Amino acid sequence: MATRLDMPQLGLTMEKGTILQWLRAEGETVQKGQPVVLIQTEKVEYEVEAPAAGTLLKVIAKEGVELPVGGLMGILGQPGEDVSALLARAPSVAPSADSAPDRGAERGRRAPSPPAETISASGVVPAREPGERVKISPVAKKLAQEHDLDIAALTGTGPEGRIVREDVERAIATKSQEPRAESRVDREAFADSIPLAGIRKVIFDRMGQSWREAARVTLFADADMSELVTLRQGKLADWERRFGIKPSYSDLIHLAVARALRDEPRINCRLDGQAVRIRKEVNLAFAVDLGEGLVAAVIRDADKQSLGDLARAARDLADRARSGRLGPDEMADGTFTVTNLGTVGVEYFTPIINPPQAGILGVGKIMEKPVVLHGGIHVRSMMTLSLVFDHRLIDGAPAARFLAKVKELLEQPAWMG
């Protein structure tokens, strides 16, 4: 099986890398784990290892070429193997752009050409002379029309250069991978184009993975925050004097959630291969909005920290996240996430679990609402909690107990004082 060698993502914010040196030549064999190519991003040089044993079949990006993360650098496999499918999925044809147009045009006239060779020219250069009749199968033609492809620009690999269904499918695959901002229409229609790279790519992959894999269930509970509101108002001056910072409602919620996770450790778990691992530490992650993109900063051993410590840690992590200076360990190894959109007016929502964690708590806005209590209607400060958990890993009952615990800790907050 041939394997793509892609420009690796060596960090959350890495968007591109440069090929410094191929350590193997085309045709040379390499063992799994041996370095194949040396790349550089910023001031970091990195030896990319072979993901599998094999022969370096093709060097796509030459030394000195800059590629986006995920860009095709080369292909490993067995000699003689058909690698056209891998080439067709190349997200960018930039690496060989310097020489591709000439070779492409030449090949176009000499159809049929092997599929592996035609890719660098697809969509770049018309594959035949102007006015030359296009030979295409009816199925391929219909497919091309459905996808709004210019059949004159396609290269055929069927008999006498006839365009067959596979050619069109390959072109569709290539087209869908091309950076869309390059077309004139897109430049006019959109104010901006954010490439699927760096942090956007990480979010894209992880949210997608979570949505595809987790068996999500959401539990809702309305917490009566009235006592906590009163407690906070009464204590704020004292807290500020003692902690040097005014704890926010988010901080108080972090305190309650960390404590509830300690009391209901079953929620504090993750999928680890073939086992559900229940974590000893409570590492509380909380979402920080970066304007474009977001990160989950992690407060380690949150269950062992005082309110003041939690408040200071959250402030410090959020400030540094926004200035892009979060340390590598400060985003790693969270065991459960809290995300608070109440601060921007959201009443309730169902967040997406951040894998490999198994749960996330959405926090809504604190609002005064009419509530029936002891047979009378009262105005209370209410807040909706939404616990999203992965039912593959956690059963409904412990999840419900955990949510009830959080609600109880918030509704009877004397312990916080």
Q: Which residues of the chain form contacts with other proteins (CB under 8 A)?
A: 10-14, 20-21, 33, 35, 38, 40-47, 49, 324-329, 331-332
Q: Which is nearer to other proteins, 23 or 231 (CB)?
A: 23
* DSSP 3-state of 21: strand
In sequence order, the 6+-apart residues with CB closer than 8 A to the CB of 217 are 388, 389, 391, 396, 399
- Least CB distance from residue 38 to other proteins, whole Å? 7
Query: Closest by alpha carbon to 118, among 131, 130, 105, 129?
Result: 105
Comparison of 18 and 226: residue with beta carbon closer to other proteins: 18
Nearest to 75 by CA among 17, 119, 122: 119
Residue 104 in tokens:
């492409």
As a whole number of angstroms, the distance between CA 120 and CA 109 comes to: 15
Report whether the peptide linkage leading into residue 356 is cis, meaning its omega lies within 30 degrees of zero: yes
Give whichever of 80 and 328 is closer to other proteins, judged by the CB atom.
328
**Could you tell me which residues are beta bridge partners of residue 276?**
271
Instruction: Decide: 3 and 76 in contact? Cβ < 8 Å.
Output: yes
Catalytic, out of 98, 238, 272, 395: 395
**Minimum distance from residue 410 beta carbon to other proteins (Å):** 31
8-state DSSP, 113: -
In whole angstroms, the minimum distance from the beta carbon of 49 to other proteins comes to: 7
Shortest spacing between CB 388 and other proteins, in angstroms: 25
Task: Write out the two tokens for 233.
Answer: 């108002």
Residue 144, classified by CB atoms within 10 Å of its CB into exposed (0-12), middle (13-18) or buried (19+), is buried
Considering the complex, state which of residue 324 and residue 417 has its C-beta at the smaller distance from other proteins. 324
Given the residues 150, 205, 272, 391, the one annotated as active site: 391
| Closer residue to other proteins in complex, CB, 43/133 | 43
∠ at Cα 276 (335, 399), nearest 5°? Answer: 65
Annotation says 395 is catalytic: yes
**Nearest-10 crossing angle of helices 249-263, 226-243:** 100
Task: Return the amino acid letter for 366.
Answer: I
Pairing assessment for the beta strands 294-299 and 275-278 based on DSSP bridges: unpaired
Q: Which of 5, 7, 60, 63 is nearest to 34 (CA)?
A: 5
The minimum distance between CB 325 and other proteins, in angstroms, equals 6
User: What ranges make up the beta strands (E) of 133-256?
Assistant: 216-224
Give the separation between CA 321 and CA 323, rounded to whole angstroms.
Answer: 5
Q: How far apart are CA 358 and CA 393, in angstroms?
A: 7
Contact 9, 64 (CB under 8 A): no
Buried b / exposed e along 208-232 (16+ C-beta atoms within 10 A) = eebeeebebbebeebbbbbebbebb
Indicate if 6 belongs to the active site: no
Q: Tell me which DSSP letter residue 353 carries.
A: P
Active-site residue set: 391, 395
